[in-house]
């Protein structure tokens, strides 16, 4: 089956490969934000609508603050990192455009190559999900186009997956995540979208091997990536059970790599994956 046939209707395709827990975790996230929405409605009713002025002013202030900080951070990115465009890392730029076209994702995605400080990842997680940071070490030794395609499509597919839900509620969830204290209820949905995006990217790139190579590079770097034993990493994921494993991932929007190995391995052996696998010439 050709890649064009598989992705003819991106929304239908994502529905077919969506992780089994994603919808239930979305409902959990809605339950997480429900008390805040109910409290705001009660506040408005109790004050006979006067609270709307306060909520509007406060909301505008927060939006302007985030907008201002976001602009400053993006300016800092342009000053300190290499922007991916038609002149720099043009192959990756084209891959991003191809992935957006394939999934019919129309929003702008900025990409930068970075090295060193983890602070960029932390800041951008709280400000803008549509910025793709590629670690310089990942690009060393010229990874194959299939490995790059997996990483690029993963990022685009995760944005596309979340865009399939009601936009306003998804934005409210993303906004409340910045408050941190409810993330134990909100982040399970974020982690489920990672599993879904892994599946989309694996089928797009062609084989689960390319996903494994990408994970290995991201975990230990280019030089040691080829030394990683995939089966052993999967065994690590199986061991990650119980209270302490749950606690370790509760406040992270990304599941651990070992869990991603396990989940993707299960899917790669499933009937739905085999039916849609892209056959290489």
For the segment 184-223, what is each residue's pLDDT rounded down to a tens digit? 888 999 999 999 999 999 988 887 888 888 888 888 777 6
Does the pLDDT of residue 60 top 60, yes or no? yes
The pLDDT of 175-181, averaged and rounded, is 72
Q: What pLDDT, on a 0 to 100 scale, did the predictor assign at position 43? A: 82
Look up residue 279 and give its DSSP letter.
Answer: P
Does the pLDDT of residue 272 top 70, yes or no? no
Does the pLDDT of residue 15 top 60, yes or no? yes
The pLDDT of 128-150, averaged and rounded, is 81
The model's pTM is: 0.84
Q: What is the pLDDT of residues 32-57, one digit of tens each?
A: 888 888 888 888 888 877 778 887 88
The pLDDT of 220-241, averaged and rounded, is 75
Cα separations in angstroms, 170 against 167, 220, 232: 5, 33, 36
Distance CA(143)–CA(140), nearest Å, equals 7
Residue tagged 């694996």 (tokens): 202
Radius of gyration of the CA atoms of the chain, in A: 20
């Amino acid at each position: 089956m050709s890649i064009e046939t598989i992705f003819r209707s991106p929304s239908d395709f994502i529905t077919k490969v969506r992780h089994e827990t994603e919808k239930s975790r979305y409902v959990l996230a809605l339950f997480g934000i429900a008390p805040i929405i109910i409290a705001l409605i009660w506040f408005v009713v109790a004050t006979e609508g006067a609270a709307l002025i306060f909520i509007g002013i406060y909301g505008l202030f927060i939006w302007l603050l985030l907008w201002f900080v976001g602009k400053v951070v993006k300016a800092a990115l342009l000053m300190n990192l290499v922007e991916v465009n038609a002149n720099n890392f043009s192959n990756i730029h084209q891959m991003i455009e191809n992935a957006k076209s394939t999934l019919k994702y129309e929003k702008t995605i900025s990409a930068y190559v970075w090295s060193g400080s983890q602070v960029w990842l932390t800041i951008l997680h709280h400000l803008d999900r549509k910025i793709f940071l590629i670690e310089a070490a990942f690009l060393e030794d010229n990874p194959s186009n299939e490995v790059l395609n997996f990483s690029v499509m993963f990022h685009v597919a995760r944005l596309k997956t979340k865009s399939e839900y009601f936009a306003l509620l998804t934005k409210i969830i993303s906004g409340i995540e910045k408050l941190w204290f409810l993330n134990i209820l909100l982040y399970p949905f974020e982690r489920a979208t990672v599993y879904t995006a892994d599946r989309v990217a694996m089928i797009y790139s062609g084989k689960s091997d390319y996903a494994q190579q990408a994970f290995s590079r991201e975990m230990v770097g280019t030089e040691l990536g080829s030394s990683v034993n995939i089966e052993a990493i999967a065994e690590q994921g199986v061991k990650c059970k119980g209270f302490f494993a749950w606690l370790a991932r509760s406040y992270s929007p990304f599941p651990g790599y070992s869990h991603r190995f396990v989940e993707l391995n299960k899917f790669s052996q499933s009937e739905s994956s085999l039916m849609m696998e892209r056959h290489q010439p």
